[in-house]
Amino acid sequence: MPRKLTQLGRRVPLPRSPEDAKLEVVANPHPGSNYVVRFTAPEFTCLCPVTGQPDFAHLVIDCCPAKGLIESKSLKLFLSSFRNHAAFHEDTTLLIAKRVTAAIKPKYLRIAGYLYPRGGIPIDVFWQTGRLPPGVWLPDLEVEPYRGRG
């Protein structure tokens, strides 16, 4: 499962695309315990596939890990690689979720993508896989839907 870390503690360039990004895994020090790890990316950016203009989002990833954990610097670099990636919101959100899931095979994973308005319509995308183990507390997402300025 875990391999040698190639990004942590090193100066590495931003991956050119999500396909080039490496998600690295570290061993879960408590594989017999059920708990939730939350990653929040409030300044996520990608590109509109039609106009090429930037899209902005607030991502929340909740994970109940099994044997492995996503190494956070590799996740940061992976998410940053979307800066020049053009895709629809649904595709972007699910691509992130499925790559993380493939890398660590969690007991449960939920992603919420709160994307700011494009063409006047905010789009929120939610996806989950697996079952939350009994007795595990999953906090609310705590991200308000887009309400405009007023």
Q: What is the pLDDT of residue 3?
A: 66
What residues contact residue 133 under an 8 Å CB cut-off, 6+ apart? Answer: 34, 64, 107, 108
Q: What is the pLDDT of residues 14-31, one digit of tens each?
A: 999 999 999 999 999 999
Of 20, 46, 48, 63, the active-site residue reads 48
Q: What CATH number should be reported for the domain whose range is 25-130?
A: 3.30.1130.10
In three-state secondary structure terms, 38 is strand
Q: Which residue has the tokens 């044997």?
A: 67
Q: Is 55 a catalytic residue?
A: yes
Question: pTM higher than 0.75, yes or no?
Answer: yes
Q: Is 63 a catalytic residue?
A: no
Q: What is the pLDDT of residue 144?
A: 80
Of 46, 55, 62, 64, the active-site residue reads 55
Domain boundaries, the chain: 25-130
Mean pLDDT by 10 residues, the chain (150 residues): 75 93 96 96 95 94 97 97 94 98 98 89 94 95 74
Q: What is the pLDDT of residues 58-73, one digit of tens each?
A: 999 999 999 999 999 9
Instruction: Return the amino acid letter for 82.
Output: F
Q: What are phi and psi of 54, to 5 degrees?
A: -70, 145
